[in-house]
Amino acid sequence: MRIGMMLRTLDEKGGIATYTRYLLEELLALDRKNEYVLFYWNSAHVGRFSRYPNVRERVVRGSHKPYWDQVAIPWACRRERVDLVFHPKFTAPLLAPCKAIMVVHGADWLMPDQARFYPKWNVHYNRVFLPLYFRKCSVVISVSQLTTDNFNQSLNLHARKVRTVYFGPAKHFRRVEDPTVLQRVKQQYGLPDRFVLTLSGYDRGKRKNIDGIIRAYELFHGKTPHKLVIGGKDCFKFKADYGVPDDGYGKDILFPGWIEQEDLPAFYTLADLYLYPSNLEAFPIPLTEAMACGTPIITSNVNGLVEIAGDAALFVDPAKPEEIADAMVKALQDQNLLQSLGRKGLMRSRTFSWPKCARETLEIIEEFGP
C-alpha cells in the first residue's frame, strides 16, 4: 500500500506536533512493508527520514492551511498515486482521489460547555466542516475514549467509525537520576530548590486554567516553601494578564519560558508536584510525561484528565481555586501521599506508549487500505 502522510504539523509547537513526530518515527521503524510518501509543508524536513528505503519525501507548496489541505494535497495524492492519505490532525482533504484517515484530538467545538474556550469563528468553522471530514474519512482515530464518545454523541456516527488509540510520552521521559543533568537544567532555567510545576503556552492560558492556578497559589502561598513554576512559550505574559504582583506571592511565581523537550524530564524530576487543573483536555500529554517521571499529580476531575490519570492523581474542581490550594497543601505536607502518587503514576504510565500507538494505528490503516 502507498500511504501519504500530511505533515504540516511538524512545524508547530505543542501537543499535536509531538504526536505527529513520534507517531511517524514509530510507524516508519515498525513498518517496512508499506510505502510512505511524506508530504512536507517546510522543505527543511527533506532528508529527515531518507534512511528508510520505503519512504519518499515530497515538499508540497501552499500559502495557507486550507489551500494546502484542500487543494495542494489532493493534487499531490493524485501525482504520487497514493492509496490512502493520513492526517494526524483534524482535517481531511475532501477532494483527494483516495481513502483518508484523520486523527481527532478533541470534540471541543461541538460541546457547548467546551466551545466557549475558542473564538466564535473557529467554532463555526469546525461545526460546518468536521461532519464533511468525517464523511470523507474511511475511519477516524481518536486519542481518548472521551473524544470518541463526544463525536459519536454529537454527529450520530455509525458503530466503529471512530477508533480510540492512546499515545504516550516520548521515550526519553523517565526519572532523571544524573545529578549533573539536574543541576545543569536547574541553573539554566533558574529553578528554585522546591517548586510546583505547571505548563502552558500563552495562547492556551484559558484552557489550561492559568487564572485558577495563580489564584490557588495565592491562597496556598506560605504554607510550604514551594514556589510556582509556569513554563511554556511566552508564559511571562501571564503576569500582566492576571495581575501577578512583584512582591508577596507574586515574587515566588517564576516564568522560565519555552522548555526544550530534552530538558522536560529534568523539570518533572525536580518538581515536587505537577499541577494541571486544566479546564479542557482530550488527551493531556503532560500527564503521561509526569507519570513516566514519577512526579505526583494534581489535576481536574473533568473530561479527559480523569480517563488518563486513573488512580495516579489527586482530583480537583478546576473552577475552585480554594480546592486546588487545599489539594496542594494536602499533598506537599504528606510525604507518604506524594510517594504513593509517584509510584502509581509510574505504573499507570505503562498504559501509554508510542510503540503500542503505532502498532494499533498501523492495524487500522491496513484494515481500511485498498
Residue extents of the structural domains in the chain: 2-167+353-367, 179-349
What is residue 283's predicted lDDT score, i.e. its pLDDT? 80
- Among 212, 218, 216, which Cα is nearest to 247's? 218
Is 179-349 the same fold as 2-167+353-367?
A: yes
What is residue 131's predicted lDDT score, i.e. its pLDDT? 93
CATH no. for 2-167+353-367 = 3.40.50.2000
CATH no. for 179-349 = 3.40.50.2000
What is residue 302's predicted lDDT score, i.e. its pLDDT? 82
Paired strand residues for 169 = none
What is residue 141's predicted lDDT score, i.e. its pLDDT? 97
Judge whether 286 and 269 are in contact, CB under 8 Å.
Answer: no
What is residue 116's predicted lDDT score, i.e. its pLDDT? 76
- Residues of the chain with confidence (pLDDT) below 50: none
Paired strand residues for 229 = 197, 254
What is residue 169's predicted lDDT score, i.e. its pLDDT? 87
What is residue 17's predicted lDDT score, i.e. its pLDDT? 86
DSSP state, 165?
-
What is residue 30's predicted lDDT score, i.e. its pLDDT? 96
Paired strand residues for 288 = none
pLDDT in tens, 125-146: 889 999 999 999 999 999 999 8
What is residue 171's predicted lDDT score, i.e. its pLDDT? 83
What is residue 226's predicted lDDT score, i.e. its pLDDT? 98
What is residue 214's predicted lDDT score, i.e. its pLDDT? 98
